[in-house]
Amino acid sequence: MEKNYYLKNLIIGLVLFSIGTFEFKSDANAVMFFLIYGINAFLFPFAKRLVEDLVFRYTSKYFWRSGPLRT
């Protein structure tokens, strides 16, 4: 995985992490949520890459760049 790809998607994961911690900071299970969101923030780039690789295995990049299908 390229460094730039990981860092760009890590930022997305960290934004989601901050939203989640802000939402659950006063909850009784805040430590559990904090740990789960933290782990997910660092795994998000890998999960996104896995989904992209699976999708591109069965379709092409051209399919996603072309417009909507016309019948």
Residue 7 has pLDDT above 80, yes or no: yes
Q: Mind listing the pLDDT tens digit for each residue in 17-66?
A: 888 778 777 777 778 888 888 898 889 999 999 999 999 888 887 877 77
Per-residue DSSP letter, 10 = H
The answer as to whether 69 is a domain residue is: no
Quote the pLDDT of residue 50: 94
Assigned domain for 27 exists = yes
Count of the separate structural domains present in the chain: 1
Residues 6+ apart with CB under 8 A from 41: 10, 13, 14, 16, 17
The reported pLDDT for the residue numbered 67 is: 72
Query: d(Cα 44, Cα 1) in Å, to the nearest integer?
Result: 13
Q: Is 45 contained in some domain? A: yes
- Give me the domain span that covers residue 39: 14-58
User: Residue 67 to residues 13, 61, 63: CA-CA distances in angstroms?
Assistant: 29, 12, 8
**Alpha-carbon gap, residue 65 to 48, rounded angstroms:** 18
